[in-house]
Structure 1
Amino acid sequence: MRPSHGLPAILRLGILALAWVSGCARGLPAPSTPLPLAPAEEPERVHFVGRMDWSGAEGPRFAWPGSSMTVRFRGPLLEVDLRESGEGNRYQVEVDGAPVSVLETHAGAGQYALSALPADGLPHTLTLFRRTEALFGTTQFLGFRGTTERHAYARRPLLEMVGDSISVGSGIEGENASCAFDARTQNAYASYGAVAGRALDADVRIVAMSGKGARRNWDGRTDETLVDLYDRTLPSDPASRWEGAARSSADLVVVNVGTNDFAGGDPGGAFLSAYRTLLEKVRAKNPRARLFAAVGPLPNPETQKQLLAAVTEVTSGLGRAPADAVRVVDLGAIDPADGFGCASHPNVRSHAKAAAALVAAIRAREAEQPTAPGKRSP
């Protein structure tokens, strides 16, 4: 689907003010205990989710949407230091599991003061979740400042979403199909994968980019496809290889790819081959995961049917045992009655429906094939 970059109504309530400053907070007293994070020395202070490049001494770099940092703190003052290569990245600020505000950043290094946080002196949990995709640049996390605490974060199931602009949540907050690509209408936090993750009490790792396909991108190019990008920690850097490891293996992986491959018509056998290659890469990097191949929600019902048939063909017979098979999930075409997001992308309502369908499919599979003892389960 062609790339198309507010908050939905359910997230507009209780919005807090966020101030951006450079160097020091303006109009706010300095935090009582400035604690810039030293990631390599104190990883237990912050819980990271997503593909992180730890090669820099100052802190990890990331670019994929949905990358997040969670910290335990005592308010009301907390700041975060970030270095952005681009302009206008947006982050969902979540406190104790509830979305409370949106932070918009600027290019370069900045210190961002989060205001109106709980002032009761009790410990609270804050998560900073990247809403925008890698096309808006790479971020380096330099640390939280404030009264933070080391915390033993419970290990939750990990859901990985692999896809294009649909999985990114591009255009999701647009009022209609005519609005254009913009960071303000993109929101990975409200995407069907992130919504499903919260319903399953799972961490979510998103590996997705607008305009990308398995064999053919939206612009017709056959290089820099998701088959290529899936190997990278930072999608814009071919040298940043994501090797994967036992501790980083997802428990569930949902691949939703093909929208852009079919944008110029049926791509034929080349798509089937590329899609299978992508699945093989996903399996190699996530050896214990249960795999799902999702389709939709697309604006054109006929394209939805064609892509569903192609995905069903390429996944049939994969996996010798039921637990290794790839389960196909039809998320359905967009219902015109629900409206459209920018550039005919699914909006918040369509994403919510897709999330419900995905959660149902995951829970049904778990009921059929219970997770073995000792493994994480959604």
Structure 2
Amino acid sequence: MSVQSSNGRIQTVSLSELSYLKVHGRTTGELAPLTLFWTGSAIELNVQGSELWVEVESQYDMYEPWISVLINGVPVSRQMLTAGRYGVCVFRGMNADVVKNVRIVKDVQAMSGDPGCSLQIHAVKSDGTFLPVEEKTYKIEFIGDSITSGEGAIGAKAEEDWIPMWFSSIHNYTFMTAEALNAEYRVISQSGWGVLTSWDNNPKGNIPNVYEQVCGLLAGERTEALGAGDHHDFSSWQPDVVVVNLGSNDGGAFQSPEWKDPDTGKVYKQRMNEDGTYHEEDLAAFEKAVERFLFKLRKNNPAAHLVWAYGMLGFPMMPAIYRAVDAYTKETGDRKVSIIQLPDTTEETIGARTHPGELSHRRTAEVLAEYVQGMLG
């Protein structure tokens, strides 16, 4: 793509040639091209120039990627990326002498239901120069389900279609909490998934099983070739805080029909007692899963504060989460583990697809940022 700017020729620079580039989100470290796997993954640049383009490559069978563009911390555009490799104009006609902080953010979660879905960035094109990006004060990792993926955080309350359009990584408590704390952040999340099982009782839909891979919930030859199944190098990025917002789908599994494994014929079901209480054995299995995940998190993030944050769509699993965290702390003596109940979503704060809307995310971010700030001093 050849573009003439008002100030001269646009230069194409591949990401691997950029002196100053900040990559957000878990990746393989490969820059030629860079694959953005998770929601909230991004490239960040400081550009002194009048015009900037980014060369993207988008592929999918069902669920197209979306991106948001932020200039100087403010979202200025959001768009669907149709299939193909092409240039997207980020800005043009701006004051060439002024430095712009630019973030191009993947707005949609890694799609476990679409093995053909990928978003890659090959190069940037500009008439300006690139300058160093300032480091943030803290690092936070968020782990969760559809709430953390920002499902329904954008769009009218009436929307019911399960499509990428209604996902947002920006109208999202993860982004808002990180902004409030001046933190760099990463997100590991998947709609419908839990600690032990997904909302429909499928035991394969659990985040702990894929936590140690770059993006282990993506199957299929294409994503495998991109390195999604590679072991994640935890030493490359150590968070100060890990926030786990899981449990909503585990709770939902008790209310959902059984799931039958098509390969083995084995049936899975989190059971309710006749009096409406949770089956003791099944609740204990959930608690054990929470405990095991805390061990895994601590092994990989030895110095981080571990915060279990839960409650944006009700909090029926809270007593079980308390018991599990208590059991873990008693066994390990680990004092850097805590629990926070998040503000429940109301009729006023609900968004699309009966999920938390932007107001709900904002309320949660205020509560969570204050809590985390107090912890970090």
Q: Deviations over 1:220-245 (max 9, x none)?
A: 21114211221221330476234333
2 CA distance for matches of 1:311 and 1:154? 34
Equivalent residue number for residue 342 of structure 1: 352
> Are residues 31 and 182 of structure 1, via their aligned partners in 2, closer, same or farther at CA, if it must alter by over 3 Å?
farther
2 CA distance for matches of 1:259 and 1:268? 13
Of 314-323 and 131-140, the range deviating more from structure 2: 314-323
Letter in 1 for 2:106: R
Alignment of 1:153-302 (within 5 A): 153-176=134-157, 179-234=160-215, 235-237=217-219, 240-265=229-254, 266=278, 267-298=282-313, 301=314
2 CA distance for matches of 1:313 and 1:248? 30
SS at match of 2:251: coil
> Are residues 177 and 285 of structure 1, via their aligned partners in 2, closer, same or farther at CA, if it must alter by over 3 Å?
farther
Equivalent residue number for residue 354 of structure 1: 364
1 CA distance for matches of 2:83 and 2:231? 25
Aligned length: 335
Tell me the CA shift for residue 365 of structure 1.
Answer: 2.0
Q: Is the Cα contact below 8 Å between 2:173 and 2:362 reproduced in 1?
A: yes
Of 177-186 and 157-166, the range deviating more from structure 2: 177-186
TM-score by length of 1: 0.81
Tell me the CA shift for residue 278 of structure 1.
Answer: 2.0
Tell me the CA shift for residue 279 of structure 1.
Answer: 2.0
Alignment of 1:77-88 (within 5 A): 77-86=51-60, 88=64
Asked if residue 32 in structure 1 is aligned to residue 9 in structure 2, the reply is yes
Equivalent residue number for residue 314 of structure 1: 324
Tell me the CA shift for residue 340 of structure 1.
Answer: 2.0
SS at match of 2:249: coil
- Larger relative contact order (C-alpha < 8 A, sep ≥ 6)? 1
Equivalent residue number for residue 46 of structure 1: 21
Asked if residue 328 in structure 1 is aligned to residue 305 in structure 2, the reply is no
Asked if residue 68 in structure 1 is aligned to residue 24 in structure 2, the reply is no
Of 23, 29, 32, the match for 1:58: 32
> Are residues 30 and 319 of structure 1, via their aligned partners in 2, closer, same or farther at CA, if it must alter by over 3 Å?
farther
Letter in 2 for 1:201: N
For the pair shown, which has the larger CA radius of gyration, 1 or 2?
2
> Are residues 178 and 110 of structure 1, via their aligned partners in 2, closer, same or farther at CA, if it must alter by over 3 Å?
closer
1 CA distance for matches of 2:335 and 2:159? 42
Of 138-147 and 206-215, the range deviating more from structure 2: 138-147
Q: Is the Cα contact below 8 Å between 2:47 and 2:99 reproduced in 1?
A: yes
Q: Deviations over 1:198-228 (max 9, x none)?
A: 0000011000011111111123211142112
> Are residues 138 and 285 of structure 1, via their aligned partners in 2, closer, same or farther at CA, if it must alter by over 3 Å?
farther
Q: Deviations over 1:182-204 (max 9, x none)?
A: 22221011111110000000011
2 CA distance for matches of 1:271 and 1:122? 53
Q: Is the Cα contact below 8 Å between 1:131 and 1:189 reproduced in 2?
A: yes
Letter in 2 for 1:79: W
Letter in 2 for 1:96: N
> Are residues 53 and 335 of structure 1, via their aligned partners in 2, closer, same or farther at CA, if it must alter by over 3 Å?
same
Equivalent residue number for residue 92 of structure 1: 68
Q: Is the Cα contact below 8 Å between 1:244 and 1:286 reproduced in 2?
A: no
Q: Is the Cα contact below 8 Å between 1:53 and 1:240 reproduced in 2?
A: no
